[in-house]
Amino acid sequence: MPYYRRVGEVPRKRHTQFRQPDGTLYAEELVGQEGFSSDSSLLYHRYAPTAIVAAEEFTLPAFTRVPNLPLKPRHLRTHKLDGTGADPVLGRQYLLANDDVRIAYVLADRPSPLFRDATGDHCLYLESGSLRVESPFGVLDAVAGDYVIIPTSTIHRLVPTGDEPTRLLAIEAAGHVGPPKRYLSVRGQFLEHSPYCERDVRGPDAPLLVDDEDVEVLVRHRRGWTSYTYAHHPFDVVGWDGHLYPWAFSIHDFEPITGRIHQPPPVHQTFQGPNFVICSFVPRKVDYHPDAIPVPYNHHNVDSDEMLFYTGGNYEARRGSGIGQGSISLHPSGFTHGPQPGAAERSIGAEFFDELAVMVDTFRPLDLCDAASTCEDDAYAWTWARRG
């Protein structure tokens, strides 16, 4: 994260003696990216964070990936995946994936186990409901419209809160996710042209101290999954400081960039990951040239697949296609796509779009996962041939 935070008790100097009330040393843990060459945080544990008493292989039901063949646009209705509920980690239903990113959806009604993903960062988007993110860094509360970034290897637990169902889109990267570099100064400060800034970002603000022993933590790593039993609960941190921690940002705080004529998707970019970007389409004034056509022009992204998650309002370019709340559209590279028939003409004269959507553009093709086949609208690919 591009700015420094200090939470709880830490000594004046790093890597110096810092003692507990009984005289024993607190155990330091440096959490860092890219070896010792990028952002990091320094945590102070009551007990050794390395102390495990058991390790067993853990097996999850596998999901398959198949190419998008025949190549065509897809429409997935995520609300058709609703079941009896699940936890927000192990209950994820994977829809789309490639070697850089996995995209899943879950309707969660119970807490997850303690979990760490050692393969990459997670970007979670809350479609509805609320969620408490617990970690050694403390508690981070999230509500509908929030993005939550969980750094690689952060042990955490996701706890649905409130009475409304917690619907979650999970974007799991094979690497790190953060603000686009063009929004940041060389020292990591948000620049003036950025559509959001440090004031919009929330992080944990108090330690979360738990004294349990023999605690299970599930770990996804590069070879599979392992269930560890830790001698002491990992939430025993009395203080930490640094630039790397879970953080949240509301899509409603994204300030849209508009112009006299239609603006391309890069103006909506919110995050970047390895070989993919995440964009936010929010309610906004639209093009004010007297001859402007506010909806997108037909376009053929030769280098990327475009996935769009519709999470509120009315998406003008897709009217008449069956797109609704919770829909996901996939427009692959190799297919020219654009507004539905009649949308361009209808949009002329519009001054405001009331739409909310999360877009993931990937630079390698997205495969279809098992859950995609159970919620696909097979008629979507042919809707451009309709008139009206």
**Burial status of residue 379 (CB atoms within 10 A of its CB: 0-12, 13-18, 19 or more):** exposed
Copy the structure tokens of residue 86: 């699940």
CA separation for the pair 18, 12 (Å, rounded): 9
How would DSSP label each residue in 275-318?
A: TEEEEEE-SEE---STT---SPPPB--TT-EEEEEEEEE--GGG
CA separation for the pair 53, 42 (Å, rounded): 24
If you ran DSSP here, which 8-state letter would residue 347 be given? H
If you ran DSSP here, which 8-state letter would residue 246 be given? -
Q: Does 337 carry a binding-site annotation?
A: yes
If you ran DSSP here, which 8-state letter would residue 199 be given? G
Q: Does 193 carry a binding-site annotation?
A: no
Residues whose CB is less than 8 angstroms from the CB of residue 262 and which lie 6 or more positions away in sequence, other chains included: 286, 287, 292, 293, 294, 295, 296, 297
Q: Any catalytic annotation for residue 262?
A: yes
Q: Does 305 carry a binding-site annotation?
A: yes
* Residue corresponding to tokens 């952002």: 39
Among residues 79, 243, 252, 262, which one is catalytic?
262
The type of residue at 216 is E
Q: Does 117 carry a binding-site annotation?
A: no
Residues whose CB is less than 8 angstroms from the CB of residue 4 and which lie 6 or more positions away in sequence, other chains included: 241, 242, 243
Give the residue numbers marked as catalytic: 262
Binding residues for homogentisate: 315
The annotated binding site is made up of 299, 305, 315, 337
Annotated binding site for Fe cation: 299, 305, 337
